[in-house]
Amino acid sequence: MIIDVQHVTWKRGPITLLNDVSWRVNDGEHWALLGLNGSGKTTLLNMITGYLWPTEGTISVLGHPYGEVDLRELRKTIGWVSSSLQEKLHGTDRTQYVVISGKHATIGLYDKLSDEDLDQARELMTTLGCQHLWDREYRTCSQGEKQKLLIARALMANPRILILDEPCNGLDLFSRERLLESISELSQRPDSPSLIYVTHHTEEILPMFSHSLLLRRGEVVSSGLTSEVMNTEVLSNFFEAPVDVDQHGDRVYVRAAVNK
């Protein structure tokens, strides 16, 4: 079991941000986490990474029940890619240094570089299709290129779980598709971590994400095989409004239903 969340509730004062959430991710599964703003996605992720503690319920990650494991060590096995990290990195750093800094989760490099680190960074950048950025200043890269570098950075620590937190946010159509293609190729690597893809756009959920969790106002609306979750009935219930669902190339596109 990669992630095992059972009946988790989290309250902040009188406000309940997560309510009786249960979620299981098995080894070899890649999941999409779909939720609108304010649905509790970030709260749930902070719970899984041990930055928040449940008011009720239990959490186990990689077979380690929370409360019986050193969370500082466990976090080293979880990569979390978020666009908010871009603002914290040094814009003048060379791209390969940004990637290598993920090995120790630091902002900037403070240790002498080894040939092994450089080789690993080059391999990861090649896998993600951004090897042409080698030795560029980070600030000169586009938004999509920065996201690829951040994913490579997270992979430097060889995580067992990789959380991609709305990685396509702010990207144009073509940059989005290039990034999604890189993520798809990453999933096919034999050493790929379990991927958790967080989004509020169904069309970003690639076929490789065999399972989906739909979260609304801190509660699970639906959870299971993506093929069984992404349909008109479930998504209309999820969005609390009638929607039309179209499928193109194993991806689901949703639009508001129009009365005829």
pLDDT value at residue 170: 85
pLDDT value at residue 101: 87
pLDDT value at residue 258: 74
What is the residue type of 253?
A: Y
* Distant-in-sequence, close-in-space partners of 191: CB < 8 Å, separation ≥ 6: 158
Mean pLDDT score, 196-210: 95
DSSP alpha helix (H) spans, the chain: 41-48, 71-74, 95-100, 115-127, 143-155, 173-187, 226-229, 232-239
For the segment 125-148, what is each residue's pLDDT rounded down to a tens digit?
A: 998 989 999 999 999 999 899 999
Q: Which domain holds residue 81?
A: 3-256
| 26 three-class SS | coil
Query: Given strand 219-225, what is the order of strands in its sheet?
Result: 78-82, 161-165, 194-199, 31-34, 211-216, 219-225
What is the residue type of 20?
A: D
Question: Would you give the DSSP letter of residue 137?
Answer: B
| Maximum CA extent, the chain | 66
pLDDT value at residue 174: 92
Q: Does residue 221 register a pLDDT over 80?
A: yes
Taking the chain, what is the end-to-end CA distance rounded to the nearest angstrom?
Answer: 47
Residue 202 is part of a domain; what is its CATH number?
3.40.50.300
For the segment 224-246, what is each residue's pLDDT rounded down to a tens digit?
A: 999 999 999 999 999 999 999 99
Q: Report the number of distinct structural domains present in the chain.
A: 1
Strands 3-12 and 161-165: unpaired
Q: Does residue 81 register a pLDDT over 60?
A: yes
